[in-house]
Amino acid sequence: MKTSDFYYELPKELIAQDPLEDRSSSRLMHLDRNTGAVEHRHFRDIREYLKPGDCLVINDTKVIPARLYGRKEGTDALIEILLLKRKENDVWETLVKPGKKCRPGAEISFGEGILKGKIIEVVEEGNRLIQFEYEGIFEEILDRLGEMPLPPYITHKLKDKNRYQTVYAKHEGSAAAPTAGLHFTEELLEEIQSMGVRIAHVTLHVGLGTFRPVKVEEVTEHHMHSEFYVVEEEQAALINQTRKQGGRVIAVGTTSCRTLESAASEDGTLKAGSGWTDIFIYPGYRFKILDGLITNFHLPESTLIMLVSAFAGKEHVLAAYEEAVREKYRFFSFGDAMIIL
């Protein structure tokens, strides 16, 4: 299986640069995973595809304003830092630009010294471990100095940083939003619940590896980044009960899907717990727990389009993407959505 098997032509103007004013007014494509048939709707119509007894699984991670701009002590060079994951207390694994100016021992000042960082080690893929020093609460300082870490294909500045958060974002720790969830409003979720659809929460802190291109020719040679997930007892019980009673488990986003499939045993029982997952789902994968998927439109040759192809079939998915291009759907993080059942 070649990476190039997952390529499709995307005109640049279809990459959504700004979120819509009304979250639920984005378009929704329904893809039938058995036949490949598609329907064109709006996201608020998603209720028509759900049934009482179904369970929507949402990822309640919260994006931190992980992009920081500082000055290197001694040279005053401008340095950009992206917080990837907290290793321990005030030590973070980061992406630093320009990396060549930031060798171990280099010190960086942010916000005129409110926050200081010292590079203590260069780790895999050139990432840097930084030890931070500050007075007060780190999260509050980050909220003042940090910017939302929008993906590289979004060039517009985000006016309201809450638009890169889901309305149910709760547990801080992501360097990117679980974007399929951006389409839900509180009102829409309430309406869905009042239909008798359960809503279960899992947490997976999304890393920037989610945007990392697949650089190998053979899909199976790609090494997946690892991300931290949590499935609580109560939520696992809710999902297991849904399956026992014949309801469908529908993941909101590839991150919820990866969490479910990482925490499921071979017989499809979801186990509560937490840990790191580097699960890589591509065609040929046998899903243990998933019955449906709500997701955005993903980059050509990405691990995400491979995951969707594993669930709905590569031919069906690529044909649906070509249809979305013809119909001028909006693509990627701030773009339109697809429900696959």
**Could you read off the pLDDT of 257-278 as tens digits, one per residue?**
999 999 999 999 999 999 999 9
Angle among Cα 53, 338, 249 to the nearest 5 degrees reads 25
Name the one residue in this structure whose structure tokens are 């598609």: 38
Calpha distance 172→273 (Å, rounded): 18
Give the pLDDT confidence score for residue 151 in this predicted structure. Answer: 87
Q: For the residues 232-255, what does the mean pLDDT come to? A: 98
Give the pLDDT confidence score for residue 132 in this predicted structure. Answer: 97
Q: For the residues 240-267, what does the mean pLDDT come to? A: 97
Q: Provide the whole-model pTM.
A: 0.92
Tokens representing 6 are: 């997952």
Find the range with the poorest average confidence among 149-153, 190-194, 197-201, 203-207: 149-153
Collect all residues with Cβ–Cβ distance below 8 Å to 51 and sequence separation of at least 6: 195, 196, 197, 247, 248
Give the pLDDT confidence score for residue 100 in this predicted structure. Answer: 83
Task: Assign 125 a pLDDT band (cuts: 50, 70, 90).
Answer: confident
Task: Assign 187 a pLDDT band (cuts: 50, 70, 90).
Answer: very high
